[in-house]
Structure 1
Amino acid sequence: MQCAVIGAGGWGTALARLLARKGYDVRLWARRPQLAHELDILRENRQYLPGVALPKDHLTITSDLAYAVTGADVILVAVPSFAVRELARRLKAVRAGAWINLAKGLERDSLLTMSEVLRQELQTEKIFTLSGPSHAEEVGRDFPTSVVLAGTDLALGERLQRALMTERFRVYLSDDLVGVEYGGTVKNVIALAAGILDGLGYGGDNAKAALIARGLAEMVRLGVCLGARRETFFGLAGVGDLIATCTSEHSRNRRVGVRLGKGESLQQILASMTMVAEGVYATQAVRALARRHGVEMPITEAVYAVLYEGASPLDQLNALMTREPKREVL
């Protein structure tokens, strides 16, 4: 099987390594020629996945997109959510056996999921999303990891599932593509809130556990309203990814939240980052969807206020804690 991994960030690099070590022929595409050259020579992605050696066999690194996808049976799309549509338009003529989206987010203007964007542009139903608690830093070092692959063609999905699995990378299969994608999107918003708590100095066990539980409630409410199955959010793509992203030092979204809680502006934070924190963009889209469908998401509203309205993180925390008393419901 020949694979193309489009995007040489940490996650794309980690999966390219995984597939090459399984013996598949892999072409990893980097947008910048200089980065492609460095990866090829050093066999290490020092910018996005430092300390992880890349195999010399079965892994070709290129900045030529046409070459990267030529003859590919499977194409893994590992670019940020805001870049997916433009990339898909460049690949419209490509006829791959399957496409696997790795981005966790929504398109900001259309509010579409990444699989919906790919389906619009590529005119194929052979589209899957891979999601779950899967920090590239751990996958690249062969730490045990479990994820979920979601799509509508389960026969094809079973073949992809087996192709991706290793003794340290377990893949479950789901046909709830909507649920898996909304889980992967909303958890990044809640991770920003978790970081804000830490930055304020209030990220204790009690507060973090409450945030994860009530964040899960928001995820379930929105997802079910939009057609997802409730049980999906109690699996890897929901609560599993939520826990990892809200508690890990690897989480870029949580780190952005920490800096917000300590008083830095969003503009200062983004200007200093080389990697994308998807939650910054997802917050706008998730809030817009919630308001469109009348779904109550107070944590999301609070994060939006801090990010885009200049609200004080401490004031938003106080406002959440002093809302009207109510019964605990999802």
Structure 2
Amino acid sequence: MTLITPPFPTNRLRRMRRTPALRELAQEHRLSVKDLIWPIFITDVPGADVEISSMPGVVRRTLKGAIEAAEEAAKLGIPAICLFPYTDPAVKTETCEQAWAEDNFTNKVIAAMKEAVPEVAIMTDIALDPYNANGHDGLVRDGIIINDETVEALVKMALAQAEAGADILGPSDMMDGRIGALRSAMEAAGHKDITILSYAAKYASAFYGPFRDAVGASGALKGDKKTYQMNPGNSDEALRNVARDIAEGADMVMVKPGMPYLDIVRRVKDTFQMPTYAYQVSGEYAMLMAAVQNGWLDHDKVMLESLLAFRRAGCDGVLTYFAPKAAKLIGA
């Protein structure tokens, strides 16, 4: 398509910026409460339900606090909450069996939240790092993160979460073949309507530090995650990952992190026309909040602008710790 732009002064682009009403009429992308997924941290570890020092305003929640978050989400019109557990280090093992224990805290929270506020969709995290003594998303053998055995473990974890009542499974591990394995397992177990939101293009990013504090993985992590998470210098590879996950049965796909990877979001959306999400990760949140607390940025303005950028780049929605504050400003 060839753009036809008349010359000045026939074409004065500022005409449509002159008043608030004209700017509203010309706005191409908008942010809605319905675009938000709210990630929350949960814990049953005594004394751990406190604010996370590297994420101002974000707290770990008990079972009661998680239910209160679901009630708040329903009141504000936020359609979904994503759960991330902080696990007692004493129960972490190299075999990660707590990840698929039917009575683990995450599964208790899923069941309680669905009973209390069934209209809010519950998304879970499918990765072993909250339960892994090595801090990795997969099982470790001789210093190597092993793929196929990890996928088997992830399937057991996902089945337990589905039985507890999860609506959306979020595989964040970046193991090869896990989407196909999860989809086959859900079909075989009768969970045909469970949605999979795949972390299809998850990068080995330096922006995850505060999250690892929040889930207690920072001290446990041995080495790095570069053998399974993506190289930040690659974009064509992201498309291959997304294509594979769609072919294996993903209903939605995600790019992570968010703002530093908006070019990837745009390529994914343009190429596949699939429901596409991004995660405004902990480091992005912490960076903006640090500037806000220093008086360098306006909290509300920078929050909403950052979220609008995701929509402009092609996102159908965004996981963000700002969700409740943004929802209050946007309105249902």
TM-score by length of 1: 0.30
Greater helix content: 1
TM-score by length of 2: 0.30
Q: Relative contact order, CA 8 A, sep 6+: which one is greater? A: 2
Which structure has the larger Rg? 2
